[in-house]
Structure 1
């Protein structure tokens, strides 16, 4: 089983492993993240140039949006 790719931490090179994501889209994701901050919902990827609903549907099961480590998450409960 493959590990999901953390869209908030992955490099452009790692993002290329996702279906429908080539070098240009991967760089666009990294640039968008650098400019706008971490993704909180997968739908935010639709704001990235070149990412449409079809691509989003393909990659959603393969990504994670984890923005915190386990210790922090537990402290919020």
Structure 2
């Protein structure tokens, strides 16, 4: 089966390209927001149980995760939940 772009007008091709460019961005945004919400809830729980978090409070950790993504969430986990945090 040969896929021929000549059957489409330029606007349809542009829409197709934009769709496959925007969809991954929406997915990344949803993952960042989900991780941010999870970190916020966990940080609030830790703050109530232990009184303090490493470096900053819960809403700043959540904001950092929304901006920085999975790597900042990993840093949060290492600082608060890993065996390294227990020492």
Q: What is the TM-score normalised by the length of structure 2? A: 0.26
Q: Taking CA–CA contacts closer than 8 Å with sequence separation of 6 or more, which of the two structures ends up with the larger relative contact order? A: 1
Q: Which has the larger radius of gyration?
A: 2
Structure richer in helix, relative to its length = 2
What is the TM-score when the length of structure 1 is the normalising length? 0.28
